């Protein structure tokens, strides 16, 4: 699968999140509290994310030390001042793109590669293109909301959060990243107008 990072008249809401910065330090956050308090473990620079059997492994390099961290062992991490949460059911990182009326995330494999290599698009082999959560504490679910779906984690999230129904209808059941981004931007703009 491919995530295309070219700005397509989406909005300033996402544009500022896409800007790269020279700060290469990675900080592990074992809990949300550590993230909120701007604390955590400095693990140096991100090297790679490897898969395999079990939980994906994050690789960092701090000085001469190579550090390996199973995704399942942390709540999230900050890399180049960008937050990545770990999706607890899939044990994969997801990049926080916007935090407002809803938290919107995209596939962490792709974004880590794009940030590290300074490229505009990347493929990924694990996880979905995009996810949402009510807040940074809440469960993360795939951003696919088919009207016929009544059983998935996304369907349960939809049933529990009727205040987001206009967003769910806009996103629908397709996995179209450009449309999903625009739906999120439009939803946030609508909330600002209320």
pLDDT exceeds 50 at position 181: yes
Number of folded domains that form the chain: 1
Tell me if 3 sits within 8 A of 107, measured CB to CB: yes
Structural domain includes residue 1: no
Question: Rounded to whole angstroms, how far apart are CA atoms 164 and 169?
Answer: 9
Question: Rounded to whole angstroms, how far apart are CA atoms 144 and 80?
Answer: 28
Condensed to tens digits (0 to 9), the pLDDT of residues 147-170 reads 899 999 999 999 999 999 999 999
Tell me if 31 sits within 8 A of 40, measured CB to CB: no
Structural domain includes residue 48: yes
Condensed to tens digits (0 to 9), the pLDDT of residues 78-125 reads 998 999 999 988 888 999 999 999 999 998 888 888 777 776 776 666
Structural domain includes residue 103: yes
| Containing structural domain, residue 149 | 9-193
| pTM over 0.85, yes/no | no
Residue-wise over 139-177: b if at least 16 C-beta within 10 A, else e?
ebbbbbbeeeeeeeebbebbeebeebeebbebbbeeeeb
Condensed to tens digits (0 to 9), the pLDDT of residues 3-17 reads 444 333 333 333 333
Per-residue model confidence (pLDDT) at position 15: 36
Per-residue model confidence (pLDDT) at position 52: 64
Per-residue model confidence (pLDDT) at position 115: 77
Condensed to tens digits (0 to 9), the pLDDT of residues 36-80 reads 999 999 999 999 998 867 789 999 999 999 999 999 999 999 998
Structural domain includes residue 38: yes
Between the two ends of the chain, the Cα-to-Cα distance in Å is 37
Cα atoms found within 13 Å of the Cα of residue 114, Cβ hemisphere only: 22
């Amino acid at each position: 699968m491919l995530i295309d990072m070219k700005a397509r008249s989406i909005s300033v809401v996402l544009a500022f999140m896409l800007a790269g910065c020279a700060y290469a330090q990675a900080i592990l956050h074992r809990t949300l509290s550590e993230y909120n308090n701007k604390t955590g473990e400095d693990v140096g620079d991100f090297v790679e994310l490897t898969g395999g059997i079990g939980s994906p492994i994050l690789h960092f390099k701090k000085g001469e030390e190579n550090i390996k961290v199973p995704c399942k062992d942390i709540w999230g991490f900050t890399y180049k001042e960008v937050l990545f949460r770990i999706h607890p059911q899939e044990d994969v990182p997801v990049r926080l793109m916007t935090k407002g009326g809803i938290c919107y995330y995209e596939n962490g494999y792709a974004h880590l590669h794009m940030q590290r290599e300074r490229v505009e698009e990347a493929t990924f082999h694990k996880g979905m293109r995009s996810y949402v959560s009510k807040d940074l504490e809440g469960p993360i679910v795939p951003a696919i909301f088919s009207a016929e779906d009544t059983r998935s984690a996304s369907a349960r999230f939809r049933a529990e959060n009727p205040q987001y129904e206009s967003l769910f209808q806009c996103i629908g059941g397709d996995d179209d990243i450009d449309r999903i981004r625009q739906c999120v931007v439009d939803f946030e703009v609508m909330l600002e107008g209320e």
